[in-house]
Every structure is written in C-alpha cells, then in structure tokens.
Structure 1
Amino acid sequence: MFKEYIDCNMDIQIEKYKLMEWLMSLKDESVISKLNTIKNSISKSSDWADDISETEKLLINAGLKDIEEGNTFTHEQVMKEINEAYGI
C-alpha cells in the first residue's frame, strides 16, 4: 500500500514537472490567459462547503449533533427496517 502511494505520488510529481516545463516554454499569451482563468476558478472553489446552501449546512450540523448525542442507527437496524417496509 505504501509503495503504491509513493509510486502514485512520484507520478504526480513527474506530471507536475512536465507541466511546469511546458508552461515555461509557452509563448502564446491566450493560452497563458486561459490557464490563469482555470487556476483562479479552481482557487475560488477549493472548499465544497462554500458551494452548499445554508439549508444544507444546517442539515449537516443537525446530523453531526445527532451523532454526538448518539441518535443514530446501525446498518443492521436500517436494513431490517427497509426489509420490513419493502420486503427486500
């Protein structure tokens, strides 16, 4: 598992290095401008929590509170209820 992580990480590092070399050789300003737009777009939306509604945030927080208070069901309990309700 660790070796796979290292291999994957090295592959990513190599790809980033290749991209840097390619970027340094670019002369087309329109391509550089488009890449800048992509970079800025990614930077602005890096946190998914910024993209969800207030209602979704409230529901997530309510769920976390339920977990803290032990108001949860096991997988077995949920499957039993589904089986009883739908005969699955």
Structure 2
Amino acid sequence: HGLDINRDGVRRSGYELLSYPDVDVAWLAGVDPRFAAIDGKTAERLETEAKYSVYLDRQKTDVAQIRHEESRLIPETVDFAGVPG
C-alpha cells in the first residue's frame, strides 16, 4: 500500500498508523474495508487526534521529568556565591 513504516516487527493499530503523515482514514479503508464505515467528521477528528498524540505523549513525558526535578531539594550547605554564572 506504499507506506514506509518501521520494520521492527511491532504490530500497529489503525490509530497508530493515523499518526503517520501520509495515512488517513481513506487509506486505512483501502487496507481494511471496516474503516470505510467511519463518517467524515469522525474520520477528521481521529486523524487530527492521532497526528497530535505523538506530541502530547512527548509533552507528558517532559512534564513528568520536570515535576521530578522540581521535587529535588537543594542542600542548605550549597554556597550559591561560589556557583559561576
């Protein structure tokens, strides 16, 4: 079907495939006719959410890391006058 995907042996759901730049619900319907039953508005929403889900997942990871770092206490013995910058 002309899609350049990772050849890592991992099976991907239709939603995961929608996150690829060249994949939309119409393309999926060409692979599996069950996707043809999805109406236009729903297809558009699924495509948009899938494309952005990759970025949202990254942001969630970044937020978790920042929260972890924010919870780290700086010892009272740190001499800030001796820190360059």
TM-score norm. by structure 1 comes to 0.32
Higher-helix-fraction structure = 1
Question: Larger RCO: Structure 1 or Structure 2 (Cα < 8 Å, ≥ 6 residues apart)?
Answer: 2
In terms of Rg, which structure is larger? 1
